[in-house]
Amino acid sequence: MRRTRLAARLAVLVTVASVALSGCGVFSGGLRGVELPGGADLGEDPYAVTIEFPDVVDLVPQSLVKVADVSVGTVRSIDVDPATWNARVTVAVNRGVRLPADSEARVRTTSLLGEKFVELAAPTQGGTGTLSDGATIPIERAGRAVEVEEVFGALSMLLNGGGVAQIKTISTELNKALDGREPQIRGLLDNLNTLVGALDDRKGEITRALDGLNRLSATLNDRRPQIENALDNLGPGLAELERQRGQLVDMLKALDRLSGTATDTINRSRDDVLADLRALQPTLSKLAESGQDLPNSLELIGSFPFTDAAVDAFAGDYANLYVRADLDAKTLLDNLLRTRQAFPTPDTPLFNQLPPVGQLLSPLLGGNPDQPSLPLLGPSPTPLGQADPNNPPPTTPPTPSAVPPPPTDGSGAPGGSGDSGSGGGLLGGLLGGGR
């Protein structure tokens, strides 16, 4: 029995000794590497996230990681970034927890004197993406809460070396300054209230004015080189104006005299100008009434004798001219007779010396002074400017309105076959050959 107890004790001692001898391997990393009981549930496959903090105060490994005050992970390690000297904290988070890629991190305290933990939260404006394994939260989205020590330190500074001791002095002096001036202070406060209310009612206009001032400032900033150039060249310009100040003063004085003279001239000629304008009013009215007719008629001046209607006759660099000539003898004689009757010989010596139409046509038909007279054309033509001995000009020119009728042969027909000397022949009487 005693041997059995000794064997059991020997086995326990051997076990304790083996554990003690192998403790260097089990706790080689210290107790920080041992998972504490009651920690967060990391699951079977947590994912790691690296967070950059400017200061982690007394945060230690194995601290909790919480989301909305729920433990979802633990702090794996804390080290220092040699490039930036910022704290770099690696945390393990349960893979079932979904966080946005732009999540924020803060080091907080569980209570006034509690332990530190890392809080992960989505941004206030809403997150995007998903925080994955190996992601990094930069220092811009990381921070820490205010520590109790910092609050007590600020309070101690305020109580010891701050302005608390001067509060009584300030209140005493303020009472002395306001004593006896209560109505004025109340009026000032009422006016200040009215001013603040008016500013609040016009905050839209004030905002627009500030926005406009901001745009103006931006425009001036963009045009800074031009403004600097103008300011640099403003000095020489002012110097030149200073040198020409005498001429400028003389010019302004002369301009003043000119304006006085012009005003006097206008006052003196006002009645005449008004009369001229009244006289010009009918002409301008008629011009206005003419409308488009006046510019249309003016087109003929610059294009005479080719009007706008002649544009169709031109094709490129040449002109097409279409002429219709009627050489019928009867038509020519009718036209000449109508001309003779419509425009009788005027009462002038020049027109009295013109030969009859029959004499003008006789050479065209082959007549000459050596040939005998043609009964149908009258006597042979006489050179222009010489008097006809057989038919001298009358001493008194006939009245233009009295056109002598053509001679008749008693039957009413003009001319006669045998009266070639006095009647000028048949064609002579028709064409004005007889006198």
Query: Phi and psi (nearest 5°) for 193?
Result: -65, -40
Give the start-to-end residue ranges of the domains of the chain: 31-147, 194-264, 269-322, 327-378+419-435
| Alpha carbon 429 to its chain's center | 85
pLDDT number for residue 111: 83
CA triplet 133, 80, 103: central angle to 5 degrees?
35
pLDDT above 50: residue 103? yes
pLDDT in tens, 214-223: 999 999 999 9
Residue with tokens 């811009």: 140
pLDDT number for residue 408: 44
Cβ atoms within 10 Å, residue 378: 32
- Average pLDDT over every residue of 423-428: 44
pLDDT number for residue 204: 92
- The order of strands in the sheet holding 64-67 is 135-137, 47-53, 87-93, 70-80, 64-67, 116-121, 104-109, 142-144
Report residue 337's pLDDT band, with 50, 70 and 90 as the boundaries.
Answer: low
Which has more pLDDT, 31 or 251?
Answer: 251
pLDDT number for residue 363: 58
Query: Phi and psi (nearest 5°) for 148?
Result: -65, -35
pLDDT above 70: residue 291? yes
For the chain, give the percent of residues with pLDDT over 70: 62
Report residue 410's pLDDT band, with 50, 70 and 90 as the boundaries.
Answer: very low
Regarding pTM above 0.95, the answer is no
- Average pLDDT over every residue of 388-398: 50
* Residue 305: cis peptide before it, omega within 30 degrees of 0: yes
3-state secondary structure of 251: helix
The per-residue pLDDT of the chain, averaged, comes to: 75
- Average pLDDT over every residue of 246-255: 94
3-state secondary structure of 193: helix
Strand partners, 408: 414
Contact 165, 172 (CB under 8 A): no
Nearest to 379 by CA among 339, 419, 333: 419
pLDDT above 90: residue 191? yes
Nearest to 62 by CA among 22, 28, 26, 33: 33
pLDDT number for residue 21: 46
Q: Alpha-carbon distance 267 to 28, whole Å?
A: 117
Query: Phi and psi (nearest 5°) for 429?
Result: -65, -40
Q: Which residues of 88-112 are buried (b: 16+ CB within 10 A; e: fewer)?
A: bbebbbbeebebbebbbbbbbbeee
Which has more pLDDT, 43 or 355?
Answer: 43
Residue with tokens 């294009």: 303
Report residue 248's pLDDT band, with 50, 70 and 90 as the boundaries.
Answer: very high
Nearest to 80 by CA among 56, 116, 115: 56
Which has more pLDDT, 389 or 103?
Answer: 103
Contact 99, 128 (CB under 8 A): no
pLDDT number for residue 427: 45
Contact 87, 53 (CB under 8 A): yes
- Average pLDDT over every residue of 185-198: 92
- Average pLDDT over every residue of 103-123: 89
Report residue 43's pLDDT band, with 50, 70 and 90 as the boundaries.
Answer: confident
3-state secondary structure of 90: strand
Nearest to 349 by CA among 405, 396, 402, 403: 396
Provide DSSP, 260-294: HHHHHHHHHTHHHHHHHHHHHHHHHHHHHHHTTHH
- Total number of residues shown for the chain: 435
Q: Alpha-carbon distance 54 to 140, whole Å?
A: 9
pLDDT number for residue 162: 61
Residue with tokens 């732009």: 102
pLDDT above 90: residue 385? no
- Average pLDDT over every residue of 138-152: 86
pLDDT above 60: residue 32? no
pLDDT above 60: residue 5? no
Q: Cα torsion for 35, 40, 44, 47, to the nearest 10°?
A: -100
Report residue 431's pLDDT band, with 50, 70 and 90 as the boundaries.
Answer: very low
Q: Alpha-carbon distance 351 to 397, whole Å?
A: 10
Query: Phi and psi (nearest 5°) for 85?
Result: 60, 30
- List C-alpha distances in Å: 386 to 349, 355, 389, 393, 435: 13, 10, 9, 11, 16
For the chain, give the percent of residues with pLDDT over 90: 34
